[in-house]
Chain A
Amino acid sequence: MKSIVLFLGILTTVIVGTVISHDKKSKLNELQMENIEALSSNEKTHHWCCGERGTCLIAPNLEIVGRLSNHPC
């Protein structure tokens, strides 16, 4: 149950930050979705990536654009 909550947390974080925050944005492709799922394994705090300035989260070969926020965008 806990892992499901954590998964939903990170999924919401990334999708809200990169997809819903603007009108008519481009959709995530399959590779990006797979990478995002891989990020969900052990999130300790809940934050959102908002907008398109800066780097919010980074991994090898993956970067989530945005600024860190402690509430939804």
Chain B
Amino acid sequence: MLKYRPLQDRHVLLILFSVLIFMSCNRKRQDNILGFDNIIEVVPQETNISKDLLSRPEAISVSDSSLVVLDHFENQLFSAFDIESGNLISRFGTLGQGPKEISLGTLGELRDSVYIVSNYRPFLGGKYVVNKGDSSFVSAIMETPDRISVSRMTELSDSTWFIMGLYSNTYKYALFHPGHGVVDSIGVSPFKNETALNQFHLFLAEQGQIAVSPDRKKIAATTNYSDNIDFIRENNGKIEFIKQDNRRNPQLIPEQIGIGFRMIPVEDAPMGYLDVAANNEYVFALYDSLPFAQGDYHSPYILVFDWEGMPKTVVDTNEKVYAIAANSSDVFLITLNDDNGYSIKRLKIGEILNS
């Protein structure tokens, strides 16, 4: 005959309690993605781009036919691939100081078969034809605008550049015409009146990522270590906000080390927005809710907005996503795999928005 053991109920309760705690821990990140109430899980598809052709890709840009990654490989910064076949088209962007060479820090974006690059060191704009590589490089060093520090810049037209950074120690965004200088500026830096910050600290606090719509009329801009994303449009030589979705400014500690300056994020503040991409209809933002102390610039979460800045959904990819790019049909991802190798994967936009 079995004896009654009063501890059994307590054990069951303990197990139930443990399961609840475990479930709540597992869901903790999902429940706190900037208040988005629609989180969907989508498994990214593999592309035909071989992992062996990737070194350590950091940024990605796509058109409807090809894809370029920032991937420092044998002294060249960029690699171009055919989207469907995965074939390597070219490696280009040779580092150096000679003709047809570029310096570290050069970034770019793909438009059809042309890769537009820019750098602020010196103030340079240039173009590659991706299937011709370095031999096709044409660049122009522009006169550096007064009172401006550049975090990101993108060419809106042959004579207009959009700049994110710091202008006149006040504004985050500027419209720049080579030869005419800054013609418009918007967005007052929240750090403008911080007396403890010098111009270098202010510049570092306003770094971020930008994405431009293919029609070159709209820009989405995220600020590093923040929950802030701005939606901006260019209209007749002016720039204006469509929407400022500013939920949390960066929390940064200024430091001076020797002759240099840096801004250190507060350890328990979320990493925030990591990257942003766009097509003509939507803006996709890679977001990490982990604190800086635990973050490593990757996240499974992609927030989707329309160009009015209205949140649509959050995609949980269950991947370590480092960077994103979008074309008319897909979002492409740089992912870190379990074997510490990298892959390029894709999400079908239709699948995301119909889920």
Chain A positions within 8 Å of B, measured between CB atoms, are 10, 18, 21-26, 35, 38-45, 47, 50-60, 62-65, 67-71
Q: Which secondary structure dominates where chain A touches chain B?
A: mixed
Which single member of B204, B255, B258 contacts A41 (CB below 8 Å)? B258
Closest Cβ of chain A to B259, distance in Å, is 5
A55 near B107: Cβ-Cβ < 8 Å: no
Interface string of B247-288 (1 = CB under 8 A from A): 000000001111111101101000000000000000000000
Q: Which residues of B contact A (CB under 8 A)?
A: 55-56, 58-59, 70, 72-75, 77, 95-96, 104-105, 107, 121, 151, 200, 203-204, 207, 224, 255-262, 264-265, 267, 292-293, 296-297
**B105 near A58 (CB under 8 angstroms)?**
no
Most chain B C-beta atoms within 10 Å of own C-beta, residue among A40, A41, A51, A55: A55
Residue of B58, B70, B259, B262 touching A68 (CB-CB under 8 A): B262
Measured CB to CB, the nearest residue on chain A to B150 is A55
Interface pairs (29), CB distance under 8 Å? A10-B258, A18-B104, A22-B73, A23-B56, A24-B73, A26-B75, A35-B259, A39-B257, A41-B257, A42-B258, A43-B258, A44-B255, A44-B257, A51-B56, A52-B70, A53-B59, A53-B70, A54-B207, A54-B224, A55-B207, A57-B260, A59-B258, A59-B259, A59-B261, A60-B259, A62-B260, A63-B121, A68-B264, A68-B265
Contacts of A21 in B (CB 8 A): 56
- Contact partner of A58 (CB less than 8 A), chosen from B200, B224, B264, is B200
Q: Are A65 and B258 in contact (CB under 8 A)?
A: no
Task: Choose one: A22, A44, A67; the contact of B72 (CB below 8 Å).
Answer: A22
Q: Are B104 and A52 interface neighbours, CB within 8 A?
A: yes
Q: How far is the CB of A27 from chain B (nearest CB, A)?
A: 11
Q: How far is the CB of A32 from chain B (nearest CB, A)?
A: 11
B256 partner residues in chain A, CB cutoff 8 A: 42
Residue on B with the closest CB to A51? B58
Knowing A53-B70, A53-B107, A69-B296 touch, does A23 contact B258 (C-beta < 8 A)? no
* A67 and B151 alpha carbons, distance in the complex (Å): 12
Provide the bound-state CA to CA distance between A58 and B260, in Å. 5
Min distance, Cβ A39 to any Cβ of chain B, angstroms: 4
**CA of A4 to CA of B95, assembled, Å:** 33
Q: Which 9 A-B pairs have the closest CB atoms?
A: A59-B260, A39-B258, A22-B72, A41-B258, A65-B105, A59-B259, A57-B262, A39-B260, A43-B257
B264 and A45 contact, CB distance less than 8 A? yes
Extra pairs beyond A58-B260, A70-B267 (18, CB < 8 Å): A10-B258, A23-B55, A23-B72, A23-B73, A26-B95, A26-B104, A41-B257, A42-B256, A43-B258, A45-B255, A52-B58, A52-B77, A52-B104, A56-B262, A57-B257, A57-B261, A58-B261, A59-B259
Question: How long is the Cα–Cα vector from A71 to B70 in the complex, in angstroms?
Answer: 22
B292 contacts across to A, CB distance below 8 A: 70
Report the bound CA distance from A41 to B260 in whole Å: 10
In the complex the two chains form, is B121's CB within 8 Å of A24's CB?
no
CA distance A45 to B267 in the complex (A): 12
Complex formed: what's the CA distance from A24 to B296 in Å? Answer: 23
